[in-house]
Amino acid sequence: MMELVLTERKESVVLLTINRPEGLNALNRELIKTLSELLAELAGDDSIRALIITGAGDRAFVAGADIGEMAGMDRPEAEILARFGSRLMRQISQFPVPVIAAINGFALGGGFELALACDLRLASDGARFAFPETGLGITPGFGGTQRLARLAGAMPAFDLIMTGRRIKAEEARDLGLVMEVTAATDLLPRAWELAETIAGKAPAAVREAKRAIRMGLDLPLDEGLTLEEGGFGRCFETGDQKRAMSAFMNKEEIPPFEGK
Strand partners, 123: 103, 181
Q: Same domain, yes or no, for 212 and 174?
A: no
Residue 168 belongs to a domain: yes
* Catalytic residue chosen out of the listed positions 3, 11, 41, 113: 113
Same domain (yes/no): 106, 234: no
Q: Is the dihedral of CA 112, 114, 118, 122 positive or negative?
A: negative
30 is catalytic: no
Task: Give Cα separations from 3 to 16, 21, 208 (angstroms).
Answer: 11, 11, 33
Distance CA 17, CA 231 (A): 32
Same domain, 187 and 209: no
Instruction: Find the CATH number of the domain harbouring 222.
Output: 1.10.12.10
Shared domain check, 244 and 149: no
- Please tell me the pTM assigned to this model: 0.95
229 is catalytic: no
Helix ranges (DSSP H) in the chain? 29-43, 67-70, 75-93, 110-117, 144-152, 154-163, 169-174, 184-199, 203-216, 221-235, 239-249
Are residue 182 and residue 245 in the same domain, yes or no? no
**Is 256 a member of any domain?**
no
Say which CATH number the domain at 134 has. Answer: 3.90.226.10
pLDDT the model gives residue 64: 87
Do residue 118 and residue 186 come from a single domain? yes
What span, in angstroms and rounded, lies between the C-alpha atoms of 97 and 81? 26
Q: What are phi and psi of 36, to 5 degrees?
A: -65, -45
Q: What are the strands of the beta sheet with 167-168, ordered from one edge? A: 60-63, 106-108, 128-130, 167-168
Same domain, 142 and 55: yes
Contact 177, 121 (CB under 8 A): yes
**Which of 133, 171, 223, 252 is an active site residue?**
133
Range of the domain at 207: 203-249
Burial class (CB in 10 A: 0-12, 13-18, 19+), 63: buried
128 and 229 part of one domain: no
Residue 180 shares a structural domain with residue 219: no
Residues 45/9, Cβ–Cβ less than 8 Å = no
Report helix, strand or coil for 67.
helix
The tally of domains found in the chain comes to 2
Going edge to edge, which strands form the sheet with 5-10? 5-10, 13-18, 50-55, 99-103, 120-124, 180-182
What is the pLDDT at residue 1?
60
* Mean pLDDT by groups of 10 residues along the chain of 260 residues: 91 97 93 96 96 96 91 95 96 98 97 98 98 97 97 97 98 98 98 98 97 95 97 97 96 92
Cα–Cα distances in angstroms (integers) from residue 57 to residues 38, 42, 161, 185, 244, in the given order = 21, 24, 27, 12, 42
**Pair 158, 217 in one domain:** no
Element (H, E) at 55: strand 50-55
Paired with 60 in beta bridges are: 106
12 with 58, same domain: the answer is yes
